[in-house]
A and B are shown apart, each in its own frame.
Chain A
């Protein structure tokens, strides 16, 4: 079979135009229909929200350094953790991987010129901006103190903060995520290149298909719920106020019907990234491709049936609680299938420890802890003791930060040379990956113990016997903060001083590595025809990967 060089595909000369230098005006960015430019604009905005949420997180940890509420009074503290949750969940975690990496790479990975509905893609970005602006405005005006969950009747009747503005902001922002999901589903169905069958799709694409299902089915429900809360505050009557016969538990049902699947919106794309990283950096086909692909779909489906485990102590019927507890155990199975398959992929693989792979390995450990502690919380009896303690906080941070944020950083490092054409400093990359791992564990592992000992969440002050572990946690947060700020520095640095990455710096077989870096506006010079399976490192891939690796080794 005719193979081509893995590092330098047979382009006679490099195309002068790529998506970045194809037009320099502001208008060419703001009115672009190019999914890659839209992804870059998402990257900038999402990073800004991440920074704001991170600063709020740092101030929470600073407050909790001492037992007394000395940095903030209780009311301010409520606003700080509420805004931290809202910014991180709705404006960072949910759009992070889908809207940036998914937007950028799904069309390239399936060999398309663009997403199927580029104008809808641009509209989703503007909706995200409008929703974000409204929430930021409310933050500047004085914020909101209900917790990111907006539980009624506090949010509808008693809170004197900007609940309505924030609710409407999240309502608007929801449509951004709906439109992104809609676009992905259409694109994956209709835009695949010749030969790119469903079971040749990279698992990143499968994960995004599952996420899109959740986005389309779940987000509208929370949108209408928050709209009802906003109208209820405005009209001073409604259906969630128990003093007039309304039902506050109904709010919790409607809210968690979306917000539990939303944690799968947050983690599934991360799992997609990890599948890519583990398989590619082990240089072998992923173990159990179909199992990983369908476990994503299974998570999306079962994820819709477990929302009641957030309401075990809210006055939900005991029998409903038993069913939800059982289904919570069931939804752990597909996640476990993924874990086993990733581990099996590593076995006898030719593993290299580049920066993205360090993040991926960190993910395996952290997500394992996050997932298993989730089973503790899903067990109906134990959860009575653990509800609303720091155990819960530690659990979901292990999944959200230890899972999604780590996967997001791994993905950004992995695809950075493709997105920008520049290589970052591998040395600093590894240092920061390890700082993030150490800092993260130091921050959140003590919180498991604190929670188990009974320290409640969402209070600005705590009894003095909890102080030692809280100091550990705050110290860890500063290490984590440094570890997260470092990439911002060396990635920017690489834009100007970084060395040219080449088209395929990792020597990987995916379609995205077969075009130039940065990709041209239409992604490929010629339309690719796919004749190989996903993660094919042998000759069947049409690339001489082994030969290229040997030549590289000789050069050194």
Chain B
């Protein structure tokens, strides 16, 4: 019955080999399948949110286009480039681990971390902008503008017919309770004039046969709700990724990884690329789709 006995502590152990495995090949295969399974789990996790996005986008495309046009595609595009470059430096980290170059590993990890931090910094700029303009979909989480503070518009936003606002107008309305504010229904008007409102929109935007600013605002708020949940969850994954990188930096600095043992680097790389790919989907869905409506 006995082919070979279990390895015990008197037998030579490869460094980094866990007790439950027979050899490094088995360990690497296990860790790799485990990481891929984890990523499958992550896809389903974000998948729920993407489903939510698809359902509401197909219901209220004009409200989503309106919300989307108030995201800054410049910052979003910049972040996309930053993340793609960080994926390159991450891949190079794995490469330099595989050819046992410690210094280059450390440099590449630091670059990856710098790009990751840049991404989060840009995200913070964008979130602040939303805060200042009253686009955060939670009451009380927007900048409070008391009467007298805003020189141009001394009235409450909802007192004006919403489709009379021009694009790009500053949203300096009085907002004493920090509510979500939306003053621009021109896209709904445009869709009405050209007759391409969906059935759900014909119910969802109108009361008494006219476009209702408050009802349109509610649908745009759903867009911003989804925007904040999706990008927030993505940013949380970035923070976790930066934590991983910090640990990787420390261990790489101590020279743990070489051509015989680089699994942790490769696995962290898989995670990092996954978070990158999620953004590659988020950017067009949230920032780009519907921009053409601006130009009629």
Binding site for B on A (CB under 8 A): 4, 112-118, 120, 178, 181-183, 185-187, 189-191, 194, 216-221, 223-225, 228, 231, 235-239, 244-247, 250, 254, 522, 524, 526-529, 542
Contact = CB atoms under 8 A, between A and B. Distances in A.
B215 interface: yes
A113 B20 CA distance: 5
A528 B19 contact: no
B37 A182 contact: yes
Contacts of A185: 33, 37
Given A115-B20, A236-B139, A237-B137, A178 B41 contact: yes
Contacts of A225: 48
B78 interface: no
Contact of B138 (A224, A237, A529): A237
Given A182-B37, A216-B37, A529-B1, A245 B51 contact: no
A113 B215 CA distance: 62
Given A245-B204, A526-B2, A527-B2, A224 B225 contact: no
A216 B44 CA distance: 8
Nearest to B204: A245
Contact of A182 (B41, B52, B225): B41
Interface string B1-26: 11111100000000000111100001
Contacts of A216: 37, 40-41, 44
Nearest to B217: A244
B41 A220 contact: yes
Nearest to A223: B45
B38 interface: yes
B34 A116 contact: yes
Contacts of B59: 247
B29 interface: yes
A220 B42 contact: yes
B56 interface: yes
Listed from nearest, the 3 A-B pairs whose CB atoms lie closest are: A220-B45, A114-B20, A526-B2
Contact of A194 (B3, B37, B138): B3
B20 A112 contact: yes
A220 B4 contact: no
Given A112-B20, A237-B138, A526-B6, A221 B48 contact: yes
B60 interface: yes
Given A120-B34, A221-B47, A254-B51, A114 B19 contact: yes
Contacts, number: 122
Contacts of B137: 235, 237
Contact of A113 (B6, B37, B219): B6
A117 B48 contact: no
A186 B34 CA distance: 6
B26 A190 contact: yes
Contacts of A231: 229
A244 B1 contact: no
Contacts of A528: 1
A246 B222 contact: yes
Contacts of A237: 137-139, 180, 221, 225
A114 B6 CA distance: 13
Given A216-B37, A237-B138, A527-B3, A250 B20 contact: no
Interface residues of B, number: 46
Nearest to A528: B1
A78 to B, nearest CB: 27
Contacts of B51: 254
A182 B34 contact: yes
B49 interface: yes
B45 to A, nearest CB: 4
A135 B219 CA distance: 34
Contacts of B46: 224
Contact of A250 (B18, B21, B37, B55): B55
Contacts of A245: 60, 204, 215, 218-219, 222
A519 B4 CA distance: 19
Interface in B102-141: 137-139
Interface in B182-216: 204, 215
Given A220-B42, A221-B44, A239 B222 contact: yes
B6 A239 contact: no
Nearest to A231: B229
A245 B205 CA distance: 9
A116 B225 contact: no
Given A118-B18, A186-B34, A250-B52, 5 more contacts: A114-B20, A220-B44, A224-B49, A237-B221, A529-B2
Contacts of B246: none
Given A185-B37, A221-B44, A244 B222 contact: yes
Contacts of A115: 20
A239 B56 contact: yes
B145 interface: no
Nearest to B20: A114
B48 A529 contact: no
A120 B222 CA distance: 37
Nearest to B4: A527
A75 B222 CA distance: 32
Could you say which of A115, A190, A529 has the most chain B C-beta atoms within 10 Å of its C-beta? A190
Contact of A526 (B5, B26, B215): B5
Nearest to A216: B41
12 contacts: A189-B30, A191-B26, A191-B30, A216-B40, A217-B41, A220-B44, A220-B45, A236-B139, A237-B138, A237-B180, A239-B226, A244-B222
B34 A117 contact: yes
A221 B20 CA distance: 32
A225 B44 CA distance: 11
Contacts of B139: 236-237
Contacts of A182: 34, 37-38, 41
Contacts of A4: 1
A28 B106 CA distance: 37
A106 B137 CA distance: 48
Nearest to A4: B1
Contact of A218 (B5, B33, B44, B225): B44
Could you say which of B29, B31, B45 has the most chain A C-beta atoms within 10 Å of its C-beta? B45
Contacts of A244: 218, 221-222
Contacts of B33: 185-186, 189-190
Contacts of A250: 52, 55
Contacts of B221: 237, 244
Given A231-B229, A245-B60, A190 B19 contact: no
B6 A247 contact: no
Contacts of A114: 19-20
Contact of B52 (A117, A191, A239): A239
Contacts of B30: 116-117, 186-187, 189-191
Contacts of A178: 41
A300 to B, nearest CB: 14
A527 B21 CA distance: 12
A237 B142 CA distance: 14
B20 A239 contact: no
Contact of B225 (A113, A217, A221, A238): A238
Given A182-B38, A216-B40, A224 B45 contact: yes
A116 B20 contact: yes
Nearest to A531: B1
Contacts of B26: 190-191
Nearest to A250: B55
A115 B18 CA distance: 11
B37 A522 contact: no
Interface string B32-72: 01100110111011111101100110011000000000000
A527 B2 CA distance: 6
A487 B5 CA distance: 39
A48 to B, nearest CB: 28
